[in-house]
Amino acid sequence: MDKVPKVLVVATSRKTRGGITSVVKAHETGEQWKKFHCRWIETHRDGNAAVKLLYFLCGLIEYVCLLPFYDIVHIHTSEPPSAMRKCLFVALAKLARKKVIVHFHAFSPDTTINGKYSNVYRYLFTKADVVIVLSQFWKKCVGRAFHLGDKVRVVYNPCTAEVFPQTYIKKKQILYAGTVNARKGYRDMIVAFASIAATFPDWQIVFAGNGEVEKGKALATRLGIGGQVVFLGWVSGKEKDRAFKEASAFCLPSYAEGFPMAVLDAWAYGLPVITTPVGGIPDVARDGENMLLFTPGDTKALADKMCLLIGDAGLRERIARHSFELARTTFNIDTVNQQVCHLYEELAGRSSVHC
């Protein structure tokens, strides 16, 4: 029997909060992780500059020591600081004549492939044997920028929500989950809800995430809806499970995304979603059927979508049913892991490693 190739996975720390960590942890649960003897090299973590540098150097040393014994290097990257770090790993892999996958998780073309660091991404993508992107939107963007042909493949982020057995009573809440920052549009959500809050005094909007929490509280107070806006801070595990199960709807008013993990979580919990047609969302969106869409920054349209969901329980149920089907099929962890397995097989020149 032929020797099964081994894969080094280069990504941020498993302790870091964020989408890349969630995705790699999801891949870690797949059969391909065992079949291809995957090893996770952690090259970045949250902390001050000294901590980040030390972590990077430790990861690099581990990588150099292990690289001769592996066949494929699967590198996860996103925004420019991450991309610049990963150039060294790609260079070493190609010097050692290893196959390379660059898995691109960025949220904005303007800050990455079309920005001042475009040559960094050009180097990463042209050196790679396969470039993974998160949606057809990103495939078109990367294709236009670098003319990579069929080297670019779409592999969606999987639904990774950990759903616990506990049940909770539904509350009249619209949930937001993720970092509370301008890119994700949290201010728009507060402004939009403020325009309808008096009409629905028994409803709340709930923010689960860290970031500009104090600014968000101040804005809600200034708009007179402080009592209807709740900030939970960062939640995980059973606290996150409870937040999603108690909510009646989900909203993410982002201006830019790769493929938002929070929306995938909402689908896994069977929540109807209001969001914007950014990143990978247009690949699967059917407005009014499996989600409600509005243009980023249009707070009037967002308020109208909120009114629609709040006022129509039947619509909430229908949209939730269709979106849950997405979580069960297209974005199912097993489905995505099978795609990753097939890419490893392809690069290894094999066709019979059953994952």
Along the 355 residues of the chain, how does pLDDT read in single tens digits?
A: 467 899 999 999 988 877 899 999 999 999 999 999 999 999 998 888 888 899 999 999 999 999 999 999 999 999 999 999 999 999 999 999 999 999 999 999 999 999 999 999 999 999 999 999 999 999 999 999 999 999 999 999 999 888 899 999 999 999 999 999 999 999 999 999 999 999 999 999 999 999 999 999 999 999 999 999 999 999 999 999 999 999 999 999 999 999 999 999 999 999 999 999 999 999 999 999 999 999 999 999 999 999 999 999 999 999 999 989 999 999 999 999 999 999 999 999 855 455 6
DSSP letter assigned to residue 151:
G
Which conformational region is residue 17 in: left (phi greater than 0), alpha (psi within -120 to 50 degrees), or beta?
A: beta
How does 302-339 read in b/e, with b if 16+ C-beta sit within 10 Å? bbebbeebbeeeebbeebbeebbebbeeebbbeebbeb
Matching residue, tokens 């990963």? 86
DSSP reduced 3-state for 58: helix
Alpha-carbon span 135 to 115, nearest angstrom: 20
- CA dihedral sign of residues 186, 318, 287, 143: positive
Alpha-carbon span 78 to 105, nearest angstrom: 5
Amino acid at 244: F
Dihedral pair phi/psi, residue 277, rounded to 5°: -80, 65
Alpha-carbon span 345 to 355, nearest angstrom: 10
Distance of CA 348 to the CA centre of its chain: 27
Distance of CA 347 to the CA centre of its chain: 25
Bridge partners for 73 per DSSP = 8, 100
Q: How many angstroms separate the Cα of 139 from the Cα of each of 17, 19, 78, 131? A: 26, 19, 15, 9
Bridge partners for 76 per DSSP = 103
Taking a C-beta distance cutoff of 8 angstroms, is the pair 323, 291 a contact? yes
Q: Model's pTM, two decimal places?
A: 0.89
DSSP reduced 3-state for 299: helix
